[in-house]
Structure 1
Amino acid sequence: MVSIAVQVVFSLLVWLSLYSGFWCRNKHRTAEWSCRLVTLMHGLIVTFLSGYIVLIDGPWPLTHAGSPNTALQVCLMCLTLGYFIFDLSWCLYFNSEGELMICHHALSICGMVIVLVLGVSATEINAVIFVSEITNPLLQARWFLREMGRYHNSLGDVVDFLFVTLFLGMRIVGGAWIVHSVVISPKTIWILKGGVLAMYLVSLGFLLNVLGFARRKMWKKYFAWKTEGTGGELPKSNGHLPAC
């Protein structure tokens, strides 16, 4: 446990150092710019690492939920736990997120702490991290495109399409599959079963926002098509979606 605590503290210090470095190099930008750079880096690293564990290194979460933690899974949990502690602290300090996102962060932190303390069930928590974080880089790319004035073009449309598609396919459909395997697993303790189910309910809350955004996007595209050649302008999107 001492080794795990050291890894978590080291992870937290790494993310804090990255944020400080980005902030020093981008003082002309907002604090959110630097925080989202850290979030983008975490999303990319954790997506590839958790995907490797799920798809290659194993064990397979749909059949081995509740299995003992592997060394690579523990490394990922410590790395991600340090990031979530950093990001939750940042969100609370700047009061930048709503209750749904704060709930998401709190559930994530609790789940990772439990599996690290117990030494089991990192398999299913890693799978949850994978389906949750895979859309994060696209979400951050959308925000940066918006900030740089490069969102309202075909590139922005591609990013939006990929984000919505991955969110529905991985976080909603894939997430439901994971929840089912965890709930029926005889090895997973009840508190983790409840936590995974709660995380999925949070995802459904985000889904309402995503579907609302997709509907508004389609209406704006339709409006632009109808008014093309008449001097009408495409209404601007606010460029913000909940982080997933």
Structure 2
Amino acid sequence: MASIILQVVGSLVAWLSLYRGFWYRNKHRSPEWSCRLVTLMHGLIVTLLSGYIALIDGPWPLTHAGDPNTTLQAWLMCLTLGYFIFDLSWCIYFNSEGILMLLHHFLSICGTVIVLALGRSATEVNAVIFVSEITNPLLQLRWFLRHMGCYHSFMGDVVDYLFIALFLALRIVGGAWIMHSVVTSSQTILVLKGGVLAMYLVSLGFLLNIVSFARRKTLKKYCTWKSKRPGVEVPKSNGHLPAR
């Protein structure tokens, strides 16, 4: 346990140091710019590692939920726990996120703490981290595109629709598959089952926002395309009656 605590503290210090370094090099920008760079780095690293663990190194989360933690799984839990402590503290300090994101961070912290304390069930938590974090780099890229004035472009459309597709395929469909394996597992403790279920409900909450966004974006694209069709004139008036 002492080793795990040291790894978590080391992870927290590493993420804080990375944030400090980004902030020092980007003093002309907002603190959120540096924080999102850290988030982007975490998303890329953790997605690759959790994907490797779930799909290659094993064990397979859909059949081995509740198994003892492997060394690599425990190391990844420590790495991501340090990040979530950093990011939750930053979000609370700057009051930058809504209740859903804060709840997501809080549940992630609780889940990783439990599996590290138990020494088991990192298999299913790792799978949850994978499907949750795989869309994160796209979310950060979208934010950077907006703040660099490049969002309203083909690249912005690719990022948005790829994010939506991955969210639906992995976080919703894949997440439901993982949730079912955890809930039906005889080795996973009840608290973790409830935590995984709560995480999925949070994902459904995000889904409502994403569906609303996708609907608005698609409708706007359709109206733009329709206005550019040959023979369709765009009204030049502003909608008010002309002055007499």
TM norm structure 1: 0.94
Aligned to 1:185: 185
- Which amino acid in 2 is paired with 1:9? V
Instruction: Return the alpha-carbon distance in structure 1 between the equivalents of residues 84 and 196 of structure 2.
Output: 17
Matched, 1:92 2:92: yes
Correspondence 1:214-233 to 2 at 5 A: 214-228=214-228, 230=233
Instruction: Return the alpha-carbon distance in structure 2 between the equivalents of residues 25 and 37 of structure 1.
Output: 12
Alpha-carbon shift at residue 40 of structure 1 (Å)? 0.1
TM norm structure 2: 0.94
Alpha-carbon shift at residue 225 of structure 1 (Å)? 1.0
Instruction: Return the alpha-carbon distance in structure 2 between the equivalents of residues 152 and 205 of structure 1.
Output: 26
Instruction: Return the alpha-carbon distance in structure 2 between the equivalents of residues 37 and 224 of structure 1.
Output: 33
Aligned to 2:201: 201
Cα deviation digits, residues 178-209 of structure 1 (max 9, x gap): 00000000000000000000000000000001
- Which amino acid in 2 is paired with 1:162? L
- Which amino acid in 2 is paired with 1:211? V
SS in 1 for 2:73: helix
Alpha-carbon shift at residue 227 of structure 1 (Å)? 2.0
Cα deviation digits, residues 114-172 of structure 1 (max 9, x gap): 00000000000000000000000001011101110111111111111110000000000
- Which amino acid in 2 is paired with 1:63? T
Aligned residues: 233
Aligned to 1:14: 14
Alpha-carbon shift at residue 231 of structure 1 (Å)? 5.9
Matched, 1:29 2:29: yes
Alpha-carbon shift at residue 228 of structure 1 (Å)? 2.1
User: Once structures 1 and 2 are overlaid, which stretch shifts more, 1-10 or 221-230?
Assistant: 221-230
Matched, 1:124 2:87: no
Alpha-carbon shift at residue 10 of structure 1 (Å)? 0.3
| Structure with greater Cα Rg | 2
Q: Which runs of 5+ in 2 are unaligned?
A: 236-244
Instruction: Return the alpha-carbon distance in structure 2 between the equivalents of residues 209 and 14 of structure 1.
Output: 33
Give me the identity figure in percent. Answer: 76
Aligned to 2:65: 65
